[in-house]
């Protein structure tokens, strides 16, 4: 019999299940405490009667994600994980250690249907979305592996979070709950390639989670060459949606801009981007592209990155250049899975 991932359940659902098993409802709370402490086996839940633990084993499993591979960067301690799902699929997660705490980058889908040209996941296509419990399991496994609390969560792993909208929102709310991880919304970031209807929906969720939008180009022409989604949502439409978002939430948007040599990194591109973003409550995070095997994109030179940055600054756009972590363990998302699947 197929068992239910207990991490997929909300507290109210768990209570129902417990009642169905003929057990007192207060057991749900005890169980909940164990699982969010990171206990991976019912047998370790010492304050639950043995007969109850046996019943639990028959009906539930915890997490459904196993660490199939783990790589630790010798340079900076970044850890890259390959997780195996119960149905034999693979996703990735990354742990980054910062002065301010431990940050994890998690996957939201097995594969992705967005098809961005420069991304390691694109060529592999889409399999299915991850459940709330599978997202939570990635975090709990990483926390257990490092023996320290995770303080920041970014959804920038494999998949398009807004293509798995309901589960992602439920997951973020669950992470914030005081009886689970109690992670502040302000320490969570969702990244999207620019799905306009979901950005609008997100603006109305009333949760102060950071929003990142993967822009990577100053106009539709260049954007459409590297990101098929640009044909569905035009640059102007994304911009007007961003204005609605910032007005509604008062929150600054981060634009991700991956610099690719000879594609989107010229002075004129920076000029155009600077003009179009001017007046919007935003910030640009520049990332040197991580060349994917067999791909045709290469990193812009340091000088190019600096020149691009200065032009944006002349337009009074705050800019950061993302520090690259875990370069020695192919920590750019999707690469480990791609290597493993051998495509």
Q: Which is nearer to ligand SAH, 116 or 139 (CB)?
A: 116
Residue 333 among the catalytic residues: yes
258 binds ligand SAH (CB under 6 A): yes
Which span (82-90, 168-176, 285-293, 312-320) binds ligand SAH, by CB under 6 A? 285-293
Residue 105 among the catalytic residues: no
217 binds ligand SAH (CB under 6 A): no
Of the residues 112, 193, 282, 333, only one is catalytic, namely: 333
Q: Which is nearer to ligand SAH, 6 or 334 (CB)?
A: 334
Q: Which is nearer to ligand SAH, 156 or 196 (CB)?
A: 156
The pattern of x and - marking residues 105 through 144 that bind ligand SAH according to CB under 6 A reads ---------x-x-xx-------------------------
Of the residues 13, 54, 92, 314, only one is catalytic, namely: 92
256 binds ligand SAH (CB under 6 A): yes
> Could you tell me the two tokens for 140?
């709990």
CB of 249 to ligand SAH, least distance (A): 18
211 binds ligand SAH (CB under 6 A): no
Query: 179 and 36 in contact (C-beta within 8 Å)?
Result: yes
292 binds ligand SAH (CB under 6 A): yes
CB of 281 to ligand SAH, least distance (A): 19
Q: Which is nearer to ligand SAH, 156 or 188 (CB)?
A: 156
Q: Which among 282, 283, 233, 288 is positioned nearest to 265, based on CA atoms? A: 288
Instruction: Give the interface size with ligand SAH as a residue count (CB under 6 A).
Output: 18
Which span (10-18, 137-145, 266-274, 289-297) binds ligand SAH, by CB under 6 A? 289-297
CB of 160 to ligand SAH, least distance (A): 4
Q: Which is nearer to ligand SAH, 7 or 229 (CB)?
A: 229
CB of 107 to ligand SAH, least distance (A): 8
Q: Which is nearer to ligand SAH, 30 or 117 (CB)?
A: 117
HEC assignment per residue over the chain: CCCEEHHHCCHHHHHHHHHHCCCCCHHHHHHHHHHHCCCCCHHHCCCCCHHHHHHHHHHEECCCEEEEEEEECCCCCCEEEEEEECCCCEEEEEEEEECCEEEEECCCEEECCCCCCCCCCHHHCEEEECCHHHHHHHHHHHHHHHCCCCCEEEECCCCCHHHHHHHHHHHHHHHHCCCCCCCCHHHEEEEECCCHHHHHHHHCCCCCCEEEEECCCCCHHHHHHHCHHHHCCCHHHHHHHHHHHHHHHCCCEEEEEEEECCCCCCHHHHHHHHHHHCCCCEEEEEEECCCCCCCCCCECCHHHHHHHHHHHHHCCCCEEECCCCCHHHCCCCCHHHHHHHCC
CB of 230 to ligand SAH, least distance (A): 12
191 binds ligand SAH (CB under 6 A): yes
HEC assignment per residue over 15-57: HHHHHHCCCCCHHHHHHHHHHHCCCCCHHHCCCCCHHHHHHHH
Task: Give the active site residues.
Answer: 92, 333
Contact residues for ligand SAH, defined by CB under 6 A: 114, 116, 118-119, 156, 160, 191-193, 214, 256, 258, 287, 289-290, 292, 332-333
């Amino acid at each position: 019999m197929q068992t239910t991932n207990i991490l997929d359940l909300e507290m109210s659902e768990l209570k129902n299940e417990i009642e169905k098993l003929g057990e007192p409802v207060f057991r749900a709370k005890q169980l909940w405490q164990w699982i969010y402490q990171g206990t991976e086996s019912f047998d370790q839940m010492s304050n639950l009667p043995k007969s109850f633990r046996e019943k639990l084993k028959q009906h539930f499993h915890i997490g459904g994600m196993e660490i199939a591979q783990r790589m630790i960067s010798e340079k900076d301690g970044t850890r890259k994980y390959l997780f195996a799902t119960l149905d034999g699929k693979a996703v990735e997660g990354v742990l980054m250690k910062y002065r301010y705490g431990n940050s994890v980058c998690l996957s939201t889908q097995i594969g992705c249907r967005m098809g961005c040209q420069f991304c390691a996941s694109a060529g592999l296509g889409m399999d299915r979305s991850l459940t709330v419990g599978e997202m939570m399991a990635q975090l709990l496994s990483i926390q257990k592996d490092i023996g320290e609390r995770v303080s920041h969560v970014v959804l920038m792993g494999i998949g398009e979070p807004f293509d798995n909208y309901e589960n992602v929102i439920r997951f973020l709310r669950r992470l914030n709950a005081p009886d689970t991880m109690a992670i502040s919304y302000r320490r969570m970031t969702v990244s999207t390639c620019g799905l306009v209807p979901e950005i609008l929906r997100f603006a109305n969720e009333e949760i102060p989670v950071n929003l990142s939008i993967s822009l990577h180009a100053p106009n539709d022409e260049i954007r459409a060459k590297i990101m098929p989604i640009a044909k569905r949502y035009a640059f102007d439409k994304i911009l007007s949606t961003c204005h609605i978002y910032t007005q509604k939430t008062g929150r600054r948007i981060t634009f991700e801009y991956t610099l690719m040599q000879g594609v989107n990194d010229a002075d004129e591109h920076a000029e155009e981007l600077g003009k179009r973003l001017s007046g919007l409550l935003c910030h640009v995070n520049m990332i040197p592209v991580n060349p994917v095997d067999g791909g045709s994109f290469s990193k812009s030179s340091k000088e190019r990155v600096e020149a691009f940055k200065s032009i944006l600054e002349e337009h009074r756009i705050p800019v950061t250049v993302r520090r690259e972590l875990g370069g020695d363990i192919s920590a750019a998302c999707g690469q480990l899975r791609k290597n493993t699947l051998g495509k």
